[in-house]
Amino acid sequence: MSPSPIQVTVSRIESLTPVIKEFTLTAQDRALPGFSPGSHIQLQLPTPSRTLKNAYSLLSDPADLSCYRIAVRLQESSRGGSRYLHERVREGDHLQITPPANLFAPSSRAQHHILIAGGIGITPFMAYRTEMLRQGISHELHYAYTGGLTHAYVEALQPAPNGQVTTYDSRRGERMSIEQILSGQPLGAQVYICGPERLLQAVQQTAADLGWPEARLHWEAFAAPEPGQPFQVHLARQDKTLAVGADESLLEALEASEIDLPNLCRGGVCGQCVTPYLSGQVEHRDNYLPPSDQSRALMPCVSRGACNSTLVLDL
Amino acid sequence: MPTTLKPIESYRNDFSFRNSPEAIKRFPFPFPEDQYMYSVNIEPATPGAPGSVYEHWFDIDEHYRSEVAERAQVLSRDPDRCLVMPHMQQAAWDTLEMLMTHLSQDYPQWFSLQRDGDQWLWINRALDLQQAFTFGDASSLPYEPLEYITRQIQGDFALLDQRENNLWMDAGMVTGPADWSLKFDAGMSFTEWHAPVPMAHQMGVFDRALKYLMNIQVDHPVRRLNWTMTINPRLDTSSETFHEWGHERSSVTAENLAKLVHLRVELQFLARLPRSNALMFSIRTYLISLEELVTQPQWACRLHRVLRDLPDELADYKGLSQYRPLVVEWLRQFDPEMAACSA
Amino acid sequence: MSHAIPSTPRYTTLAEIPKAPRYLLALQSGDTEVARQLLQRLPYETRLWQPEEAAADVSQLNTLLQACHPGTHLCISGDETFIWNCRNQAQAAGLLDAEMSLIKAADGRQAYCVHCSQLQPISQDDEVTCQHCGVQLTIREHFSKRLGAYMGVCLNADQPYGER
């Protein structure tokens, strides 16, 4: 059930910092679908070597469907998606996106929302804040960045009576104390984290130390799949063998051979692309499959085979 | 052929509800095979054939005025059949927007919507209503938004909040359910409110369905059919009124069953509500008497086989054990007993 | 009684209470074996709420909850009516189900009459007459946490009001 893509025009590109650009996407042939805070879209990027599909959070006002806005950080170690957006895409260009999906929605039951952002992880919280300020929902935002490099939207984030903002500029030696943030919170508090893996782990660790159950924590875990070793994959039912390159995911290699699997996050969390395998070594990199299922299924969006054995899929 | 809205007929007391030949032809007969068993029979709700019940997201048929009048009657006696928990306010507005948008696009002869920022004008020509209001301001409407719009549409609605990897029934307008109670089930998770359904839990049906439903995306709704049987064309077969209608099941005789016994089909439609991320679960109920149903010989034949072979546990749950033998016996005359029914 | 279904409440044993930095204990009666064991097992500094009357005003629990922070684990021990009243009060204050242990220490429970929407205390019998509307009810295993009650539905639709 892959939703049909939406054609958009890049109507505006703005450099927010030396490494972050904001892209405004406007619909061409139909109205843009509505979305809730925390939603993301997949952007199809026709790079010279192959078409990449990268997921980006929508940061614009959910009440404004005249355009979507996303912000992209140039990743030095990336597989080319962010570089393509930064260096090749121009205003007026046409791109394809998927409709919005939400794997990071605010909990309707929380009475106070603690938003913790690291660098480009601020993007989903831009939409959160717009909606929470409009509805008068109690929240606080903690935003860590590197001044002069990843300080996107710092000026735009004005504190409000029901929405404190605290910023932490690492250039000035300002450090976020997660323990201080989480201590003394009311019983109705829930935490949302979007940022680098080490920030997520630090919040998880502190929360666990303070006795917070996991159900109080929400995080945006997806990111572009990490490169790995090249490997071979054999499709048992179709009797077909494919080579997966070092900087492409198994899902991308399957799609390049016109085998379309359902997918939402392309980052090992949503569980849509789960695929059974028959033999071979698997490097499981997802956050979805329980260990009990890892001996027979894998998530091809992030997980990989080993370079010295052939992975045999039940496809 | 354009639908003509009938004058008001009743779903209670004298039960004047009848289907026209056109309504019979478009009835969503739910059995694709001669046997029935649970399955996760969910499919993308792509637009169906013109004139069919699947043509639009929200089907308006000849019974529109009757169903609206029936809902008003239920609510006048039991206003709590519409329930919206405080955290579901936005989902209620989402629902109002989705219904007004689709009705005015799909049935411009009856409905129109004019939007100027948050100043909206809604016109319902079928009921001769006109309402100017401020979107997002409940005080500008005569009822809370979910109640306002669902008083003008056919079918029940449950709004499901999505959190903690589950769906929670935290709002709804349910005046014509097949033996359940929104007031009792409100606040329950997907697993909890399906708890009374026999067999399906063990089959893993609900686990699979839940995963599927939580991944429904904006503008990509899904649908499925469900069915049971009802004595008389009674829409309000709620748990609340069971003590008033339950006894009718023992009044079925071989002589009256063709008029009394109805196949009750629910066209369930699930759509993501864009702004709230809640899920709309609409249940559009179609009733057809056996007398009307057997005008379609292939349906009569198939219903005979389905009812004859239905597991007892399911027949009990659907509340048709008491009169099933009589109905099966009567339907047998329509079964030519060839290999398969579908002529 | 009929068999449990997925909405039938499950209660925990003392051994299943998870480790937490702080505990709050809501105790219906100190005069049970379960209560004695609980008081022994939980740390000395655990805060205790024990209502004086049998028909407890659980809103008093709210005052204690408002002073708590995440990391607090609430143990509730009493009959089913008491447990769900406290649980709903705690949930409204922001506590999650993962942060509560529900320990059944007595048999008292409630039924919700689906016909007149009223609650009433019931025994372990699964047939009862509604005190409010007079309908003879069968008590199902279908349970609403929100209402803290089992579903009561007309036992015999051919004779809803019994012999009267």
Q: Please give the backbone phi and psi of residue B262, each rounded to the nearest 5 degrees, phi first.
A: -120, 140
- Residues with Cβ within 8 Å of residue A308, at least 6 apart in sequence: none
Is the pLDDT at A171 greater than 90, yes or no? yes
Task: Return the closest-CA partner of residue A218 out of A68, A55, A69, A109.
Answer: A109
Q: Per the domain annotation, does C159 fall within a domain?
A: no
Nearest beta carbon to residue A3 from set B87, B90, B217:
B217
pLDDT at B123: 98
pLDDT at A4: 80
The domain locations on chain A are 6-102, 112-219, 231-313
Best of B215, B216, B224 to mutate (most A CBs within 10 Å, chain A): B215
Minimum distance, in Å, between the CA of residue A246 and any CA atom of chain B: 30
What is the Cα gyration radius of chain B?
A: 20
Please name the residue that has the structure tokens 């039960």.
B15
Q: Per the domain annotation, does B99 fall within a domain?
A: yes
Q: Per the domain annotation, does C162 fall within a domain?
A: no
- In a 10 Å sphere around its CB, with 0-12 CB exposed, 13-18 middle and 19+ buried, how is residue A285 labelled? middle
pLDDT at A226: 73
pLDDT at C1: 44
Minimum distance, in Å, between the CA of residue A149 and any CA atom of chain B: 33
Ranges assigned E (strand) in B47-127: 82-84, 111-116, 119-124
Q: Per the domain annotation, does B244 fall within a domain?
A: yes
Q: Domain containing C67 — which CATH number?
A: 3.40.50.80
What tens-digit pLDDT sequence spans chain B (343 residues)? 578 999 999 999 999 999 999 999 999 999 988 877 766 678 889 999 999 999 999 999 999 999 999 999 999 999 999 999 999 999 999 999 999 999 999 999 999 999 999 999 999 999 999 999 999 999 999 999 999 999 999 999 999 999 998 999 999 999 999 999 999 999 999 999 998 887 777 777 788 788 889 989 899 999 999 999 999 999 999 999 999 999 999 999 999 999 999 999 999 999 999 999 999 999 999 999 999 999 999 999 999 999 999 999 889 989 999 999 999 999 999 998 766 776 4
Task: Read off the pLDDT band of A223 (50, 70, 90).
Answer: low
Task: Read off the pLDDT band of A76 (50, 70, 90).
Answer: confident
β-strand partners of A151: none
Residue A8 CA to residue A98 CA, distance in Å, equals 10
Please indicate, yes or no, whether residues C19 and C94 belong to a single structural domain of this protein: yes
Which residues form the domain of C84? 14-104
Residues of C in contact with B241 (CB under 8 A): 115
Q: Per the domain annotation, does C136 fall within a domain?
A: yes
Instruction: List the C100-104 sheet strands across, edge first.
Output: C47-49, C22-27, C72-78, C100-104
Task: Read off the pLDDT band of A225 (50, 70, 90).
Answer: low
Q: Per the domain annotation, does C9 fall within a domain?
A: no
Domain count, chain B: 1
Q: Per the domain annotation, does C8 fall within a domain?
A: no
pLDDT at C2: 54
pLDDT at B207: 80
Interface of B with A (CB under 8 A): 44, 87-88, 90, 161-164, 170, 211, 215, 217-220, 274-277
pLDDT at C54: 65
Which DSSP symbol is given to C98? G
The more confident residue out of B152 and A248 is B152
Which residues form the domain of B103? 21-334
pLDDT at A267: 78
Task: Return the closest-CA partner of residue A250 out of A269, A266, A236, A265.
Answer: A266
Residue ranges of chain C whose pLDDT lies below 70: 1-2, 54-55, 163-164
Task: Return the closest-CA partner of residue B11 out of B77, B70, B84.
Answer: B70
> Annotated active-site positions of B, please?
224
A 10 A CB-CB count for B93 gives 21
pLDDT at B343: 46
Ranges assigned E (strand) in C12-108: 22-27, 47-49, 72-78, 100-104
The ipTM value here is 0.93
- Residues with Cβ within 8 Å of residue B73, at least 6 apart in sequence: B12
- Asked if A77 reaches chain B (Cβ–Cβ under 8 Å), the answer is no
Residue B313 CA to residue B319 CA, distance in Å, equals 10
- Classify domain A112-219 at the CATH topology level: Rossmann fold (3.40.50)
Please indicate, yes or no, whether residues C99 and C113 belong to a single structural domain of this protein: no
Correct CATH for A6-102 of 3.40.50.10800, 2.40.30.130, 2.40.30.10, 2.60.40.10: 2.40.30.10
- Scanning C52-111 for CB atoms below 8 A from B yields none
In contact, B112 and B100? CB cutoff 8 Å: no
Best of B161, B243, B320 to mutate (most C CBs within 10 Å, chain C): B243
pLDDT at C164: 47
Mean pLDDT computed over A99-119: 95
Please indicate, yes or no, whether residues C69 and C147 belong to a single structural domain of this protein: no
Percent helix / strand / coil, chain C, rounded to 5: 20, 30, 50
Mean pLDDT, rounded, of chain A:
91
Mean pLDDT computed over A12-21: 97
Residue B209 CA to residue A215 CA, distance in Å, equals 23
Please indicate, yes or no, whether residues C97 and C118 belong to a single structural domain of this protein: no
Are A105 and B162 inside 8 Å of each other by CB?
yes
Please indicate, yes or no, whether residues C87 and C124 belong to a single structural domain of this protein: no
Write out pLDDT tens, residues A147-169: 999 999 999 998 888 889 999 99
Write out pLDDT tens, residues A186-216: 999 999 999 998 999 999 999 999 999 999 9
B4: helix, coil or strand? Answer: coil
Architecture of domain A231-313: Roll (3.10)
pLDDT at B1: 58
Mean pLDDT computed over A20-28: 96
Domain count, chain C: 2
